[in-house]
Amino acid sequence: DAGVTQSPTHLIKTRGQHVTLRCSPISGHKSVSWYQQVLGQGPQFIFQYYEKEERGRGNFPDRFSARQFPNYSSELNVNALLLGDSALYLCASRASSGANVLTFGAGSRLTVL
Amino acid sequence: QQPVQSPQAVILREGEDAVINCSSSKALYSVHWYRQKHGEAPVFLMILLKGGEQKGHDKISASFNEKKQQSSLYLTASQLSYSGTYFCGTASNAGNNRKLIWGLGTSLAVNP
């Protein structure tokens, strides 16, 4: 079984641009969470989606948005990129909204110049 | 509210033991431990729920002291494969399990 897959793995953008990151959860997992991990720090929670509905939102500006599709895959969108948005963006899936174990993807490393 | 992990970094020789601590200023419902190797995704190790239970997985075990709002991860007879950064994630109630608050991590290097 494939794990959590994310794309792209690496990307470089300039300030002011927007970016779309994609995530496919483990087959059968209906919940997807997004995290931002700045170098040297722990993951910071951005969003959780379950059954296409937002179930949680972290302390991030409105420039960050996400959605979940009927096949449970998810997109994270970031508009008006800032230098500080440079980070590893991790997607994690879990079997249900309340399940404890997160399975992370390898992440998308975003560099904003 | 971010849990505090200690130590920040530790270097071991293969076969030595280590303890990593995770402390919170808030009452905790659960503590989650993950390990992340360089350039890879965090991988789940174990979860501890309030009640002070101790869990183990191979030679890695953990305890959760609800009163002290602290969890400790014990690595015994360390192996080279234990190298990586260990993160604790905490939740103050069951509803917050979906948005864990993570510590800054403890970097562990195991040398031959």
Residue B80 carries which DSSP code? G
pLDDT tens profile A29-49: 999 999 999 988 889 999 999
Q: Which SS3 state, helix, strand or coil, does residue B18 take?
A: strand
Predicted confidence at residue B59, as pLDDT, reads 85
pLDDT tens profile B6-32: 999 999 999 999 999 999 998 888 899
Polymer length of chain B: 112
Is A104's Cβ below 8 Å from some Cβ in B? Answer: yes
How many CB atoms are closer than 10 A to CB A82? 12
Contact A76, A47 (CB under 8 A): yes
Q: How confident is the model at residue B58 (pLDDT cuts 50, 70, 90)?
A: confident
Contacts of B33 (CB under 8 A, 6+ apart): B22, B44, B45, B46, B47, B48, B62, B71, B73, B86, B87, B88, B89
Q: How far is A107 from chain B (nearest CA, A)?
A: 7
- Identify all chain A residues contacting B100, using CB atoms and an 8 Å cutoff: 45
Predicted confidence at residue B73, as pLDDT, reads 95
For chain A, give the longest Cα–Cα distance: 38
Distance CA A47, CA A77 (A): 11
Q: Which domains does chain B have, with CATH numbers?
A: 4-111 (2.60.40.10)
For chain B, give the mean pLDDT. Answer: 89
Q: How confident is the model at residue B65 (pLDDT cuts 50, 70, 90)?
A: confident
Q: Which domains does chain A have, with CATH numbers?
A: 5-98+106-110 (2.60.40.10)
Over 80: is that where the pLDDT of B57 sits?
no
